[in-house]
């Protein structure tokens, strides 16, 4: 891919992120994105095939970046409970960046589109793989839970928590953040026991 072509696709993805955050997936149009990106509409279809391909490319782009961040963070020598605490801190960044909104919008789109659901599940599996790798180090102390079970519970807690936070109710947002952070004490107890 030429530098110019890569630049155009990134320009389109940035505009798509802005439009998606402002109006949501249902109101997103390739025309609005093209206008925001300052490119002809044909460029969106050339690079991504249409609205769905563009949003899935945006999600994949953000997912790859954030998975790398998580892998670097979990690769440090800090105790697992400290690394999990950092993951809770990352939640604020992920919401502010729009990643969580894009992910949740595509999860909802996947309920009625098998192609979307398969791609979204593939992206979520990458997160699960990272969590499974991390929990394998503590599997002997997890009692009846396997590393896969523990990773799934943590991953699903974040996905559900993100959905509740996006609903915008302060009580539920506070409750969700408190519950996710409560696992810090449990992980610390497991590590230090």
- Tell me how many domains the chain contains: 2
Give average pLDDT by consecutive 10-residue segment, the chain, 193 residues.
71 91 84 96 94 89 91 90 93 88 89 92 94 82 85 94 96 96 88 79
Specify whether 37 is located in the same domain as 56: no
Q: What is the pLDDT of residues 174-185, one digit of tens each?
A: 999 999 999 999
Specify whether 86 is located in the same domain as 113: yes
pTM of this structure: 0.81
Helices assigned H by DSSP within 3-98: 3-27, 30-37, 41-48, 51-74, 80-97
Say what the pLDDT of residue 159 is.
96
Which residues form the domain of 72? 52-192
Specify whether 125 is located in the same domain as 136: yes
């Amino acid at each position: 891919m030429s530098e110019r072509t890569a630049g155009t696709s990134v320009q389109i993805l940035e505009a798509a992120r802005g439009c998606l955050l402002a109006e949501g997936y249902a109101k997103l149009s390739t025309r609005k994105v093209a206008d925001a990106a300052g490119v002809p509409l044909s460029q969106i279809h050339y690079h991504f095939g249409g609205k769905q391909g563009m949003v899935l490319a945006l999600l994949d782009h953000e997912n790859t970046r954030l998975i790398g961040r998580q892998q670097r963070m979990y690769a440090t020598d800090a105790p697992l409970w400290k690394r999990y605490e950092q993951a809770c801190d990352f939640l604020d960044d992920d919401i502010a960046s729009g990643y969580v909104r894009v992910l949740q919008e595509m999860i909802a789109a996947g309920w009625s589109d098998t192609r979307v659901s398969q791609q979204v599940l593939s992206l979520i599996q990458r997160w699960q793989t990272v969590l499974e790798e991390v929990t394998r180090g503590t599997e002997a102390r997890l009692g009846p839970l396997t590393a896969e079970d523990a990773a799934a519970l943590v991953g699903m807690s974040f996905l559900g928590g993100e959905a509740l936070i996006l609903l915008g109710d302060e009580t539920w947002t506070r409750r969700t953040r408190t519950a996710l952070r409560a696992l810090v004490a449990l992980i610390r107890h497991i590590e230090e026991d």
